[in-house]
Amino acid sequence: MCGSDDDSNVLYGFTAVDSSASDLLKAACRPSSPHSIRVSETPIPSTPLAQRINQYAQAHLAAPTYNHSLRVYHYGMANKQYRCPD
């Protein structure tokens, strides 16, 4: 299970993924090397919730920590796109 198209995705901009890393990796075995993914291909959701979280993070985190958080988000989304392209 890599994701689902339920109402939470539409409402909140989140797609559920299996919480078990070993199950997720088994289900989505990709023998080829990953291709390059641009940051623009992993946009931050534009939902009101995502905007509020982003504003809060910018206001309360030190710039290096905020930037690290964005890198982690984009890395995770690129990994998800590679492992679960559907």
Residue 65 lies in a domain: yes
Residue 20 lies in a domain: yes
Residue 17 lies in a domain: yes
Residue 78 lies in a domain: yes
Summarize pLDDT for 19-73 with one digit per residue, the tens. Answer: 777 776 666 556 677 778 888 989 888 999 999 999 999 999 999 999 999 999 9
Residue 1 lies in a domain: no
Q: What's the domain count of the chain?
A: 1
Summarize pLDDT for 4-29 with one digit per residue, the tens. Answer: 455 666 666 666 766 777 776 666 55
| Domain span holding position 22 | 7-83
DSSP the chain: -----SHHHHHHS-----S-HHHHHHHT---SPPPP--GGGSPPP-SHHHHHHHHHHHHHS-HHHHHHHHHHHHHHHHHHHHH---
Residue 32 lies in a domain: yes
Residue 66 lies in a domain: yes
